[in-house]
Amino acid sequence: MASTPRTTPRTPPVTVRASAKVNLALGVGPRAEDGFHPLATVFEAVGLHDTITAGPRDDDVIAVTVEGPEADLVPTDESNLAYRAAELLRSRCADPHLGVDLHITKSIPVAGGMAGGSADAAGALLACSVLWDIDAGPGDLHDLAAELGSDVPFALIGGVALGRGRGDRLVPVIFRGTHHWVFATSEEGLSTPAVYRRFDELGGGGGDLVPTALIAALTRGDIDAVAGGLGNDLQEAALDLRPELAGVLEAGVEAGAMAGLISGSGPTVAFLVGGEAIGRTVAKTLRTLPQVSSVRGARGPAQGAQLMAGTLEAGS
Ligand code: ATP
């Protein structure tokens, strides 16, 4: 990766849109000696988006600002995943004196099991690589993404993909059709490490087996078989920590969803629905539940981190 730093305070800002994910299947093997659990997961990117804008600075500061209804839950210091992405990219590929103003417009639920922080990291990698004029190919960005977190490589590519290892060894899955989703979020997030700890205490799940029937159903575009193949080995642990989510799952399915499951480590509950009309009915029911803080509809599969239209033209 070579860079010819050409950023000046007059370089136009670069905006990237990054998507949330839902795990259609999340098979988790027993905790390994390195503390990680081997995974076989099918990710789907869905149409809930954060935007990350990278603006030039004339000093070497990486500054983060966040806006959106849950902005107060997101750190703006060096623990922000977008900050860490910019810092890693700069340390490996760019002039160490380059700075950036990172502005995140947050729409993906925070600590909701939808990999919002990972989406912001992927977005910051892409936005800063353009702002700083770094000649980084997809393989280079993937390697940096994997260093930042297990879900970050998928946030770069989007679509549907099988993830092995920690979820970072990706193979795209061919899919047909559009999926309609309804997501029910909770006021309070769930910590992913806490869910894995409870998973271990409960004795583990089905193992990191590749869900071949689900992958075949995605490729055929057989929505009934996709609904039947959804599964999450972390669900039992998430429900053990948040028993009130069982009622959300039940209510969504009773209201007409084809299937419901906890998204990743939760607490967001994801419902696959047969279309937009039934999605509205399911959403209406979910909004009446006291344990649900908001309900959002989205389509999938969505794209991964994308430069927003106009960004390149403005920068050329
Ligand atoms: P995953 O599905 O990958 O386990 P998640 O969706 O459950 O993640 P995130 O929204 O990514 O959770 O955030 C988890 C925690 O990470 C937050 O509580 C917050 O303190 C911290 N964090 C760091 N950077 C970010 C960011 N850019 N956006 C949101 N949270 C962030």
For the cut 90, the answer to whether the pLDDT of residue 311 exceeds it is no
Tell me the catalytic residues.
Answer: 21, 151
User: What is the tens place of the pLDDT at every residue in 222-243?
Assistant: 999 999 999 999 999 999 999 9
User: What is the tens place of the pLDDT at every residue in 103-126?
Assistant: 999 999 998 999 999 999 999 999
Please report which residue ranges of the chain form alpha helices under DSSP H.
81-93, 116-131, 138-148, 152-157, 192-201, 212-220, 223-229, 235-241, 245-254, 276-287, 311-315
User: What is the tens place of the pLDDT at every residue in 243-264?
Assistant: 999 999 999 999 999 999 999 9
Q: 111: annotated binding-site residue? A: yes
Q: 110: annotated binding-site residue? A: yes
What confidence tier does 316 reach under pLDDT thresholds 50, 70, 90?
A: very low
> Higher model confidence: residue 136 or residue 101?
101
Ligand 1: which residue has its CA nearest to atom 24? 80
- Which CATH architecture describes the domain 179-300? 2-Layer Sandwich (3.30)
The angle formed by the CA atoms of residues 30, 35 and 37, to the nearest 5 degrees, is: 35
User: What is the tens place of the pLDDT at every residue in 68-87?
Assistant: 999 999 999 999 999 999 99
pLDDT of residue 138: 83
pLDDT of residue 310: 61
Which helix H or strand E contains 185, and what residues bound it?
A: strand 179-185
Q: What is the mean pLDDT of residues 214-219?
A: 98
What confidence tier does 315 reach under pLDDT thresholds 50, 70, 90?
A: very low
Fold of 2-172: Ribosomal Protein S5; domain 2 (3.30.230)
Average pLDDT, the chain: 93
Q: Is 315 helix (H, G, I), strand (E, B) or coil?
A: helix
For the cut 70, the answer to whether the pLDDT of residue 63 exceeds it is yes
For the cut 60, the answer to whether the pLDDT of residue 156 exceeds it is yes
Please enumerate, as own/partner, the contacts of 136-142 that have beta carbons within 8 Å and a separation of 24 or more.
136/1, 136/89, 136/93, 137/1, 140/1, 140/93
Q: 117: annotated binding-site residue? A: yes
Ligand 1: which residue has its CA nearest to atom 9? 111
For the cut 50, the answer to whether the pLDDT of residue 38 exceeds it is yes
What are the boundaries of each domain within the chain? 2-172, 179-300
> Which of 49-58, 188-197, 198-207, 224-233 shows the lowest per-residue confidence on average (mean pLDDT)?
198-207
Question: CB–CB of 277/289 below 8 Å?
Answer: no
Ligand 1: which residue has its CA nearest to atom 8? 115
What confidence tier does 56 reach under pLDDT thresholds 50, 70, 90?
A: very high
User: What is the distance in A from the centroid of ligand 1 to the CA of 111?
Assistant: 5
* Nearest to 189, CA basis, from 242, 234, 237, 142: 242
For the cut 70, the answer to whether the pLDDT of residue 292 exceeds it is yes
pLDDT of residue 206: 79
